[in-house]
Structure 1
Amino acid sequence: MRDERGWTYQDVVDIVAKPTRRSADRRKAWKWEHWGVEPDAESQVALAEAIGVPIREVHRLGWPGWLPDGGPVRTGFPWTKAGTLQSLDDTLEHAMPDRRGFMKLGGQALTVLAGQWLTRDPEPVTAALTGGRIDSQLVADLEDGLPRLRRMEAAFGGPWARHLLDAELDTVTGILKGASYTDRVGRRLLRLSAELARLAGWSSFDAGLHTAAQRYWTSGLRAAHSAGDHALGANIIKSISLQCYDHGLFADALRLAAAAVEGAGAVTPRTLGMLLLRQARAAAACGDRAECDRLLAAAETQMGRASTGDDDPAWTGYFDTAEFYAQAAACHADLGRPRLARDNYATALTLMPVAKRRDLATYTIQHARTHTALGDADHAVHLLETAIPIITAAPSQRNADRAAAARAELPLATKDPKVQRLDQLLATLAA
């Protein structure tokens, strides 16, 4: 962390000393770094504020887990094929070792990135002049692996899938850098790398590795741009919007979601409905009831127009009727409409395939929270107990955090046998 910022030991203790009125003895920082001495709570808070780490992450990750490492998330690459390959290389170097549980890029930097994506025109794809010739069949073989990777990521959760996705992305990036191919094949390879980066970003996000997610998504956005795939770029922006939502950056989430809808281009009704729902969720989080209701109605209209004969992108496969009801439920919950949220979650859970274990856990937990809000704590406990084995089968840090948050909302005494049993289950989940 010091090396990234060019700080001396004295710089560190000066930063800590100013708000805490402690002594500025450089030996303290040396001991933190070399002797394993842990700074006191006030010193950690002062240092976290100086480097832009949320205080909640200091408490959640502990010392020294909350300290940034792995270098900054670089976003200044050109919006060209060469810039895309540089961005992918940077991601492949830093994303897997990066274990940060917070976002390094703030909302403003992300909205600037989205604005650049909206306004830059993609250049023609030119191939390297060395290396073997890549034909359409080889690209098709690589593309054939995507459905399997999507199923694995959805079924087993992010921590397991991200290693496979990173390896696949490395392979495709290597081909883009070293092989020769036509413009058409090059765009397919870039589109494939963008989707692999999107999936790797999502799996990192699900595992609570938010900086790694940002690395994958920002490079994937460039790859989608270079491929000329506006819809895929919009889907990546949509994912970044959700990450901002999860971190309480609601205004940024709304700006990003709106940019996704604006930049998607001509898309199928199902795709547009999915993007509109993300915008609706951000509007709900901002407390804009009228805008949220308008967007929900627009999304429902698009879903009504969707047909099995539409040429939907493969990555929209998860977005079915169950997902629509679940996302609508989340909107109602954020707007303080627990009855509507409860009913929509119940419908979503009835329709959801059992194979979507992570989503089943997510919406079972959120369903439980609506029952708590409506005064039915006993049923909320039952739902949380149902969700915990599903999280165990499909590990997800986001779902583990949701379950803990839902438990904290229960208005029941700690000595209540139901609560004690639930706490035991949550303890095994944390372990």
Structure 2
Amino acid sequence: MAPTPRRAKLPNLALERLLASSGMSHHAMARRVNELAGQAGLHVAYTHTSVVNWTRRGMAPKAPVPSLIARALGERLGRPVDVAEIGMRTVRENTAGLGLDFPRDTAEAVRHAVHFWSTVEHLDRRAFLNKAFAVGAYATPVTRWLGVPADPGAGHHGSGRVGHQDLAELWQAADEAQRWDSKYGGGTWRASSVTHCLTRRAVPLLHGSYTDQVGRGLFAVTAELARVAGWSAVDTGHHDIAQRHFIQALRMAKAGGAVDIGCHVMANMALQALLRGYHQEAIDMVQGAYDRARSRAGHRVLGFAKLIEARAHAKANDARAASAALATSERCLEAAEQDADEPAWIRYFTHTRLASDAVEVHRDLRNPAAAWRWNAQADAMNPDSFARSVGLRLTVLATTHLQQHELDQGLAVGHRAIDILGRVASARARDYVADITTTIAPWHRERPVAEFLHRARTELALVS
């Protein structure tokens, strides 16, 4: 019996049309894809023949090259181009270990970080979302940072000179994204565009030439950008992606010798672990961060770490340890007023922020009287600038009332929370409102409860 002839692949007409519209030659396309791949830490050598294979013979390279082809076309066309638009199916990359590396060598660490940021921007997020948060993934990064929190040198010889103005632009981008996140949630376009900033602006600079001083600044601001990206991912419920951003943020902080930023990143990692139910692991992480950075970070940074420790102790129902950590946090904030050259990225941590979190600490400890006292101090927080924080605090107040069987007060505060959180793009906000719906379950037959549940479902897309 004669063998069945292999069906020839059809030409990729979609890619051919876009290539023609862009005005790029086959040589130019191959050259730009090689450049983008190099920035992502990939070693490829495509030629005009490769482009012919993609267009006329319908061949498709392995991930993440299709996304790089789309990016090259987007640059020339002046608009975003999706992988599907170039006639290539999204090729699934093995994401199991992507972004979880914490190499000891600085150059290797940069290569892994760049590959992660260049890849995650184009990957289908469902490839990550089918994986649960794995607190064990933090073991190696935490151990290595606690052992050696600062690399010895940060200078690099590459293409293009990096200067202080480049760093200033990155710091501005990180600051804008953090403020937008606080006001509108991590799901907004500006907050979630930090990964785009990492790949398009920070990555090319990492491949440039810079002195040790500039290099330390570059690694520090890249760490802060990655931290903001991680927190935006936490806020939108993408915890697996957030873990990877935090790990790379911690490694970049180590590369830049920025122990204060490393401590802050570790506190964020601990807060994520706390939100996922790993209270003891959160305590271990944030205590280690505080002790390692005690003589090398400002008081405000240390105070934030102690605040997260207080929250973790409260979740673990350890009132004595929670109170001690909260008191230390407050003392650190008072001492921060005397710190010179305090970094701008930690100034969001004010006494009103501490008071807001202290309300939750005492709610978890079932100490309503203390919660009310702290709430009086937290009321000064501006809901226009910190909409999410104010809304979350109101949900905590609502559940505090409900713990005391004060249904009317709890519902009234709960409605105020929805008023604010309805304009915030945040999965975490929905989780906090869901705490209210769980707590009011004993009153589910009451009409005001049914009305509250209906409003939560319709305005926050809450599943009850």
Residue 234 of structure 1 deviates from its aligned partner by 0.8
Residue 309 of structure 1 deviates from its aligned partner by 5.8
Structure 2 gaps, min length 5: 1-92
CA distance in 2, matches of 1:73, 1:253: 23
Q: Secondary structure at the match of 2:187?
A: helix
Among 292, 299, 304, the residue aligned to 2:329:
299
Structure 1 gaps, min length 5: 1-67
* 8 Å contact from structure 1 (residues 115, 259) kept in 2: no
Q: 2:105 matched to which residue of 1?
A: 80
Q: Which moves more between the two structures, 207-216 or 153-162?
A: 153-162
Q: 1:51 matched to which residue of 2?
A: none
Q: 2:163 matched to which residue of 1?
A: 135
Q: 2:257 matched to which residue of 1?
A: 228
Q: Structure 1 residues 315 and 139 mapped into 2: Cα distance closer, same or farther (>3 Å)?
A: closer
* Length-normalised TM-score, structure 1: 0.78
* 8 Å contact from structure 1 (residues 342, 370) kept in 2: no
* 8 Å contact from structure 2 (residues 394, 417) kept in 1: yes
Residue 355 of structure 1 deviates from its aligned partner by 1.5
| One-letter amino acid of the counterpart of residue 301, structure 2 | T
CA distance in 1, matches of 2:279, 2:358: 17
Q: 2:426 matched to which residue of 1?
A: 396
Q: 1:425 matched to which residue of 2?
A: 455
CA distance in 1, matches of 2:277, 2:339: 38
Residue 303 of structure 1 deviates from its aligned partner by 2.1
- Structure 2 residue 253 is the aligned partner of structure 1 residue 253: no
Q: Structure 1 residues 309 and 219 mapped into 2: Cα distance closer, same or farther (>3 Å)?
A: closer
Q: 1:279 matched to which residue of 2?
A: 309
Q: Structure 1 residues 322 and 248 mapped into 2: Cα distance closer, same or farther (>3 Å)?
A: same
Residue 340 of structure 1 deviates from its aligned partner by 1.4
Larger Rg: 2
Q: 2:213 matched to which residue of 1?
A: 184
Residue 228 of structure 1 deviates from its aligned partner by 0.4
* 8 Å contact from structure 1 (residues 102, 210) kept in 2: no
| One-letter amino acid of the counterpart of residue 88, structure 1 | A
Counterparts of 1:29-428 in structure 2, within 5 Å, are 70-96=95-121, 97-99=124-126, 100=128, 104=132, 106-120=134-148, 121-129=150-158, 131-160=159-188, 161-264=190-293, 265-307=295-337, 310-410=340-440, 413-428=443-458
| One-letter amino acid of the counterpart of residue 100, structure 2 | T
CA distance in 1, matches of 2:144, 2:388: 33
| One-letter amino acid of the counterpart of residue 175, structure 1 | P
CA distance in 1, matches of 2:297, 2:152: 22
Q: Secondary structure at the match of 1:408?
A: helix
* 8 Å contact from structure 1 (residues 325, 348) kept in 2: yes
Residue 274 of structure 1 deviates from its aligned partner by 1.3
Q: Structure 1 residues 69 and 341 mapped into 2: Cα distance closer, same or farther (>3 Å)?
A: farther
Q: Which moves more between the two structures, 156-165 or 411-420?
A: 411-420
Residue 108 of structure 1 deviates from its aligned partner by 3.4
Q: Structure 1 residues 213 and 342 mapped into 2: Cα distance closer, same or farther (>3 Å)?
A: same
* 8 Å contact from structure 1 (residues 81, 123) kept in 2: no
CA distance in 1, matches of 2:242, 2:199: 16
Residue 346 of structure 1 deviates from its aligned partner by 4.0
CA distance in 1, matches of 2:214, 2:362: 44
* Length-normalised TM-score, structure 2: 0.73
Q: 2:19 matched to which residue of 1?
A: none
Residue 89 of structure 1 deviates from its aligned partner by 2.2
Q: Structure 1 residues 147 and 327 mapped into 2: Cα distance closer, same or farther (>3 Å)?
A: same
Residue 152 of structure 1 deviates from its aligned partner by 1.3
Post-superposition Cα deviations, 1:367-413, rounded to whole Å, max 9, x if no partner, equal 11111111211111111111113222111101101101211201553
| One-letter amino acid of the counterpart of residue 415, structure 2 | E
CA distance in 2, matches of 1:71, 1:220: 19
| One-letter amino acid of the counterpart of residue 306, structure 2 | L
CA distance in 2, matches of 1:277, 1:98: 32
* Percentage of identical aligned residues: 26
CA distance in 2, matches of 1:142, 1:392: 31
Q: Which moves more between the two structures, 69-78 or 307-316?
A: 69-78
| One-letter amino acid of the counterpart of residue 225, structure 1 | K
| One-letter amino acid of the counterpart of residue 171, structure 1 | R
Q: Structure 1 residues 408 and 371 mapped into 2: Cα distance closer, same or farther (>3 Å)?
A: same
Q: Structure 1 residues 119 and 172 mapped into 2: Cα distance closer, same or farther (>3 Å)?
A: farther
Q: Structure 1 residues 278 and 176 mapped into 2: Cα distance closer, same or farther (>3 Å)?
A: same
| One-letter amino acid of the counterpart of residue 265, structure 2 | I
CA distance in 2, matches of 1:76, 1:266: 25
Post-superposition Cα deviations, 1:219-253, rounded to whole Å, max 9, x if no partner, equal 01100100000010111111111111111111101
* 8 Å contact from structure 1 (residues 224, 232) kept in 2: yes
| One-letter amino acid of the counterpart of residue 117, structure 2 | L
CA distance in 2, matches of 1:74, 1:411: 41
Residue 275 of structure 1 deviates from its aligned partner by 1.2
RMSD (Å), alpha carbons: 2.3
CA distance in 2, matches of 1:104, 1:87: 22
Q: Structure 1 residues 417 and 88 mapped into 2: Cα distance closer, same or farther (>3 Å)?
A: same
